[in-house]
Structure 1
Amino acid sequence: MEAIINRIRATLPAVNDDILGYITDILETNKSDYIDFQEVDDALRPIFEEVAHNEREQAAIADLCQFVCDQLKLETLSNGNDSTNEPKKLSTPVSIGHYSGNIFEEVSSALFNVADRSLIKPLNESTTVSQKKLEKAEAKLREKQEKRARDGGTNGENKVQARLEEAVVSQATNKKLLTDSENGDTASRSYDVHIDNFDVSYGNKMLILGGTMDLIYGRRYGFVGRNGLGKSTLLRVIANRNLVLPSHIRILHVEQEIEGTDTLALQSVLECDERRNALLNEEKELNKRVQISGGSSAAQDSFISKRLTAIYAELEAIEAHKAESRAAVILNGLGFTSQMQAMATKEFSGGWRMRLALARALFSKPDLLLLDEPTNMLDLKAIIWLENYLQTWKSTILVVSHDRTFLNTVATDILHLNSQKLDSYRGNYDTFVSARTERLKNQQREYEAQKEYRDHIQVFIDRFRYNANRAAQVQSKLKLLEKLPILRPVEKEHEVHFRFPDPEPLHGTIMQLDDVAFSYSKDSRLILNNINLSANLQSRICIMGENGSGKTTLLKLLVEELEPTKGQRHGHRNLVVGYFTQHFVDQLPMNINSVEVLQSRYPGRTIEQYRTELGRFGITGDTALQSVLSLSGGQKCRVAFSLMCMKNPHILVLDEPTNHLDMETIEALAEAIKKFQGGVVLVSHDELMIKRVCTEAWLCRNGSVTSLEYGFEQYKKLIESELQY
């Protein structure tokens, strides 16, 4: 409650202690009634509006109500073990003694459950809240309490649980810092981000406790940590400004694909520059007015002429004439050809619209750019281009990525989320790994040394505890123990282990394409032509190529989702294929748990069998009983792996399996693939995965598939030679 009071004081300086006491008692009477924003808004907005003295304070009321709601959710979660539902009495007097008659009785009985009116201490000091506003607020509160009682307990509990499945934030704010940010001169404003002492929870799970984040302007931060710890949630919290940040900092979060419309791709990117668009629109309007007036008013023409001169000067200052070429360069780097740049956004697939969202973000140059797995939607050529482009970025970047090579190239700092804490490291990902390993070793050594010292002192205390002659020494040793800092042993992260089930043995070539060609219709061009490939149980094949080159089409021919236009596909008569694609992950049913997902697809087995299959990929314990909706992207991938392995496949056909997996999980997947007794055909742009797993490399390009003698390195050099900046 102290955090709420501090936030109210910071937002509304005119509020007095009487009003704060009154608000406190409203909220403490039954916190669970106010974990919904609308209920808090209905109860407190009339009061806040009375003490808000300017437009800025009025505009901040919605955020203030949201903060109160979030803080009460956190307090409700932290007191979750307290099952008592008894009404609470007032802990302090309420200063509303000047109210009288029916209003006083209604407030006492309906809100506070106070039978003894002696608890109310009247004061002569008057409050700034009007009686009419108070009556309206109390009537709404009573109405909502009565409605909740009518709805019944079970239904109410379900609604509360649904509301708790949202990220909840609590933050200690610095009033002086925020005031300085609002009132300071533009030239002296800092674009560094400092967030101290904040908590983030999701549902019943605490993600970050007492977190501190410092983002220095101009640095590029890689954000790493295990799947499901809250990295993406924290990015959304920052983007939505649930954490208080200086209002002058422009934040852009690339998370969702843009909406498909008739707007051309290039124009969609140009529209991000709001200042340029506003100036161009004003220029058109002024020129139109000149044509309409026909020089009828000299004064008006003079004003328009001066304004147009100012507009042209400002357009020149922001280099508006270069905007179109800069947007085209960004789009080209992300894989958009000249023809694609002239296409309407509605003509692109979801993956390409995600690229457009990234292009818009790069073009608009926000002060803080938030990227969540940006390499997932890109091929190797676009990734290499993006790595080079971001190294020239002038403002701040916070990027969640599982791509170790990308983080080594782009990041200047690493933020690590672990055990509900955020730790910062200077340097790229490899530097972070070595620094963290050394830090953990030092922490363990300090703990062991102190433990040995404590044990030594404790032996002395136990030996002479009842010796009167040594009483002073024993007391001295006890005080020494109390003064020692409390060190904790290093918490070892849970190791990730994957295991694919061993298939029945098959001998020789188990899958083969002979002179295969494919097109989606008779009149369309051939996407693939003259393809001759084969695989056996020892195969570890990587298929590489740019987006649109036919990699996924080739996989679908291998797994018989598509029939060849020409040629033949041969497969062993007992062959079982396991096919993984992000498409399957996106189509998992979201409203049931992981065990039920496997049960619905493969009925007739025991619960233990389903849980064993999920356990192969780290979905264990309560996680297997959570709804799929509540799982992280990486955990959903694991469920999809479990589904794929329910039929014990002989060969795994994997289309971008590392998307959404954290570093440790990717390593576990690579190790599991190496130990798998069947064959593997893999499409991936993850350099480390390819190098660790694959022994053969096929390049899809220009409708053909060719073998690369030197594997990934040969392909990477080919791409780099073709890049333009």
Structure 2
Amino acid sequence: MIILKNVTLRRGSKVLLDKTSVSLNPGEKVGLVGRNGVGKSSLFALLNGTLHDDGGEFSIPAQWRMSQVAQDMPETEQSATDFVVEGDTVLLAAQHEVTASEESDDGMRMAYAYTALHDAGAHDAPSRAQALILGLGFSVAELDKPVNSFSGGWRMRLQLARALMCPSDLLLLDEPTNHLDLDALVWLEAWLKNYAGTMVVISHDREFLDSVTNVTLHIDNGRLVRYGGNYSKFEDMRAEQMALQQAAHAKQQEKVVHLQKFIDRFKAKASKAKQAQSRVKALERMEKIAPVLADAEFQFGFKAPLNLPNPMLAITAASFGYPPPEDAPSNATPTVIVQNANRSVLAGHRIGILGANGQGKSTLVKTIAGALQPIAGEIITGKGLNIGYFSQQELDVLRPAENPLEHMIRLVRDTPAGVRPSAMECREQGLRNFLGTFNFSGDMVKQAVGSMSGGEKARLVLCMIVWQRPNLLLLDEPTNHLDLATREALSVALNEFEGSVMLVSHDRALLRSVCDEFWLVSRGGIQDFDGDLDDYQVYLLEEAKRQREAASSRNAA
């Protein structure tokens, strides 16, 4: 059992935990939640021994083995498989003992060493490691590639696989879903449900927390408050508590009224029925999430688009992919990922784009946004189409050396006069005021973007999109760096948005709340997905199983 009794924890002069107590039982799966900066990562540091309490009593069973994801970027020429195998510390120790016993020429020691090596699972370690790697989205062809050949996000997936490979009694996971696509996320959930030890996880993905946790530990005003149940049950119980605080409840009433007006306006129109229904879902959850929204760093809304072309765009016989590298031979051909696509996006459409990793979701969005050109066919845009594009990599649209104010000034220059806001809003003070609504105030408007956190960069991209008054939103993983409260604020804002939305996300709560239909990007094409997200999770698990079977066949050969 993990016990904290009257524990005080400080970081510098700031008191994070103030004489607080809690107990965690063996085998419990704990979701650790709270606003950014309240001390979640510091509590992790206390649990793993890198930070010591400033008062009270803290204990954890001495014999417990601990595993967590290393935060450093691995630099090694080891293959992906060998790197993950080394995460098994028991196996590694057994291998070292075999080597030492052989050098000692002690027959009895060697016998014990080889028995321990067998008991540590040396015979199937590579296949266990490869199952983890494939589950987290790698292909069979990448199992033997060197770690250094992967980008940063993929190396962090290997660090996660390495942590899962380690036999443990306590597993600490800090934002394990940040670098994952939905297919890898679904696989990870299934793996964690079978984990036998105690787990504590920090995550801003509500459905992930609902799926893998049975206890919620909330850090609130220096206290650790334990709730029995997953995140949704915590949310329900906290909402009941907060209902007594009329100010938090009243703060949401204006948004409730706005959604109800939309529903009343359009529920009788067949062409608007889907859009109205998504607002009904949002309204049903509104009162429950009021306490969470009250904790959000900021809340915002999209202004009504200046016009709504219909159709927004039409994709005709189009192929999407990447042109040859600049240094490629003149006869090199483009890399085609999606081909012969024929789709249209109508005014008010709210489309979730699904597909396993590498199938072309981001390629599709980049091409519609104009960041890539179609390799074949064409995309015909409606008159007055105004796209707001959130890239999965914020720095694709942000300039690290510039500050938020410079970004807004450049945005004004690049926006045609006919679609700009008023002259007052385009002046420096107007831009400063607008940045302030997204929590960029004071010195922050002059801070270089390159020095900002991921959440601050995401906030700036959202700020720039809202200012442009788009009628089509292209959102590629917009929640990666947003906390739970801000994700809920985004969900509310998207449900109030009157234009069209195309969304790629591994946040299923956001997909369920916002989208009325789904496109599946798979095996080189785009088609309607006739099912809900639960059906899609079954599809992803079947795909993962197929990949594991292919890897097993490869190893057997």
Write the distance in 2 (CA, Å) between the matches of 1:423 and 1:587.
40
Q: Select between 625-634 and 528-537 the one with higher mean Cα deviation.
A: 625-634
Q: 1:405 to 1:653 in 2, by over 3 A?
A: same
Post-superposition offset of 1:585? 5.6
- 317, 333, 336: which is aligned to 1:515? 317
Contact 2:175 2:201 survives alignment (8 Å):
yes
Computing the radius of gyration from Cα coordinates, the structure with the larger value is 1
2:319 is the counterpart of 1:498: no
Which amino acid in the other structure matches residue 139 of structure 2? Answer: T
Q: Is the 8 A contact 2:91 2:121 kept in 1?
A: no
The aligned runs of 1:709-720 (5 Å cut-off) are 709-720=530-541
Within a 5 Å distance, the mapping from 1:462-611 to structure 2 comes to 493-494=294-295, 497-520=299-322, 521=324, 522-523=332-333, 525-572=335-382, 574-584=384-394, 594-595=404-405, 598-599=408-409, 602=412, 605-611=426-432
Aligned to 1:613: 434
Distance change in 2, residues 1:273/1:703 (3 Å): same
Query: Following the alignment from structure 2 to structure 1, what is the Cα–Cα distance between the partners of residues 228 and 302?
Result: 37
* Deviation string, structure 1 residues 626-659 (Cα, Å, up to 9, x no partner): 7768866434322220123333322111001122
CA distance in 1 between counterparts of 2:165 and 2:431 reads 48
TM-score of the superposed pair, with normalisation by structure 1 = 0.59
1:87-486 maps to which residues of 2 (within 5 A)? 192-194=2-4, 196-201=6-11, 207-236=16-45, 238-239=47-48, 241-244=50-53, 250-254=65-69, 256=71, 258-284=73-99, 287=102, 303-440=105-242
Q: In the aligned structure 2, how far is the partner of 1:238 from the partner of 1:605? A: 50
Letter in 2 for 1:654: L
Give the AA of the match of 1:671: V
Structure 1 residue 375, shift from structure 2 partner: 1.9
Q: Equivalents in 2 of 1:599, 1:234: separation in Å?
A: 41
Cα 1:427/1:627, change in 2 over 3 Å: farther
Deviation string, structure 1 residues 501-523 (Cα, Å, up to 9, x no partner)? 33221422232221111343344
Q: Whole-Å Cα distance in 1 between the matches of residues 540 and 458 of structure 2? A: 29
Q: Distance in 1 between matches of 2:64 and 2:5?
A: 13
Q: Return the offset for 1:437.
A: 3.2
Where does residue 663 of structure 1 map in the other structure?
484
RMSD between superposed Cα atoms in Å: 3.4
1:699 shift after superposition: 0.3
Tell me if structure 2 keeps the 8 A contact 1:257–1:351. no
The answer to whether the Cα contact below 8 Å between 1:385 and 1:723 also exists between their aligned partners in 2 is: yes
Paired position in structure 2 for 1:165: none
More strand by share: 2
Secondary structure at 1:374's aligned position in 2? coil
Task: State how far apart, in whole Å, the 2-side matches of 1:673 and 1:544 are.
Answer: 18
CA gap of 1:507–1:576, structure 2 versus 1, over 3 A, is closer
Give the aligned partner of residue 7 of structure 1. none
Instruction: For 1:673, give the aligned amino acid.
Output: L
Could you tell me how far apart the structure 2 residues matched to 1:230 and 1:599 are?
36
Aligned to 2:526, what secondary structure does the other structure show? strand
Shift, 1:701, TM fit: 0.5
Deviations 1:685-718 (A, max 9, x none): 2222112211221001111010123343442332
Deviation of the 1:317 alpha carbon: 2.9
Tell me which moved more, 310-319 or 349-358.
310-319
- Match of residue 685 from structure 1: 506
Specify whether residues 617 and 694 from structure 1 end up closer, same or farther in structure 2 by C-alpha distance, changes over 3 A only. farther
How far apart, in 2, do the equivalents of 1:205 and 1:614 lie?
28
Alignment partner of 1:377: what SS? coil
The equivalent of 1:648 in structure 2 is: 469
User: Quick one: distance in 2 between partners of 1:532 and 1:618?
Assistant: 41
Q: Residues of 1 paired with 2:244 and 2:479: CA distance?
A: 33
Q: Which has the higher contact order (CA 8 A, sep 6+)?
A: 2
8 Å contact from structure 1 (residues 258, 356) kept in 2: no
Q: Distance in 2 between matches of 1:433 and 1:211?
A: 21
What corresponds to 1:675 in structure 2? 496
CA distance in 2, matches of 1:195, 1:659: 34
What is the DSSP-based 3-state SS (H/G/I as helix, E as strand, rest coil) of the residue aligned with 2:71?
coil
Q: How many residues align structurally?
A: 476
1:366–1:607 Cα change, 3 Å: farther
- The residue type equivalent to 1:719 in the other structure is L
- State the alpha-carbon separation in 2 of the partners of residues 425 and 576 from structure 1: 45
d(CA) in 2 for partners of 1:647, 1:589? 18
Letter in 2 for 1:221: V
In 2 relative to 1, CA 314–692 (structure 1 residues): closer, same or farther, beyond 3 Å? Answer: same
Please name the residue that 2:329 is paired with: none
| Secondary structure class of the residue paired with 1:375 | coil
- Contact kept in structure 2, 1:257 and 1:350, CA below 8 Å: no
Query: What are the superposed Cα offsets for residues 139-165 of structure 1, whole Å, 9 maximum, x if unpaired?
Result: xxxxxxxxxxxxxxxxxxxxxxxxxxx
Deviations 1:12-60 (A, max 9, x none): xxxxxxxxxxxxxxxxxxxxxxxxxxxxxxxxxxxxxxxxxxxxxxxxx
**Cα distance in 2 for residues equivalent to 1:325 and 1:526:** 32
**Residue 325 to residue 229, structure 1, CA distance change in 2 (3 Å):** same
Q: What 5-or-longer segments of structure 1 have no aligned partner?
A: 1-190, 290-299, 445-489
Q: Deviations over 1:203-241 (max 9, x none)?
A: x76544444453333211101223444434543565461
Retained in 2: the 8 A contact 1:498–1:618?
A: no
Q: CA deviation at 1:588?
A: 5.2
Q: For structure 2, list consecutive stretches of 5 or more residues without a partner in the other structure.
A: 54-58, 247-290, 325-331, 414-424, 549-557
How many angstroms apart in 2 are the aligned matches of 1:440 and 1:505?
40
Displacement of 1:257 after TM fit?
Answer: 5.8
Measure the CA separation in 1 of the matches of 2:392 and 2:119. 45
8 Å contact 1:379–1:545 — kept in the other structure? no
Counterpart-to-counterpart distance in 2, 1:720 and 1:504: 43
Q: Contact between 2:219 and 2:225, CA under 8 Å: does it hold in 1? A: yes
Is the contact between residue 585 and residue 637 of structure 1 (CA under 8 Å) also seen in structure 2?
Answer: no
Contact 1:235/1:253 (CA < 8 Å) preserved in 2?
no
| TM-aligned CA deviation for residue 264 of structure 1 | 0.5
Residue 374 of structure 1 and its aligned partner are, at CA, apart by 1.5
Spell out, residue by residue over 1:361-381, the C-alpha distance to the aligned partner (whole angstroms, 9 max, x if none).
Answer: 011134432222222322222
CA contact (8 A) 1:260 1:347 kept: no
Q: 1:232 to 1:613 in 2, by over 3 A?
A: farther
* Cα distance change on mapping 1:440 and 1:501 into 2, 3 Å: closer
List per-residue Cα deviations over 1:305-326 (Å, max 9, x = no partner): 2221111121233333232222
SS at match of 1:642: helix
CA deviations 1:403-442 (Å, max 9, x no partner) are 2221112112101122333211111112212222344568
Alpha-carbon displacement from aligned partner over 1:549-603 (angstroms, at most 9, x marks no partner): 1111111110111111111122245433211123116985678865465356657
Counting only pairs closer than 5 Å after superposition, residues 38-53 of structure 1 correspond to structure 2 as none
* Corresponding residue SS for 1:582: coil
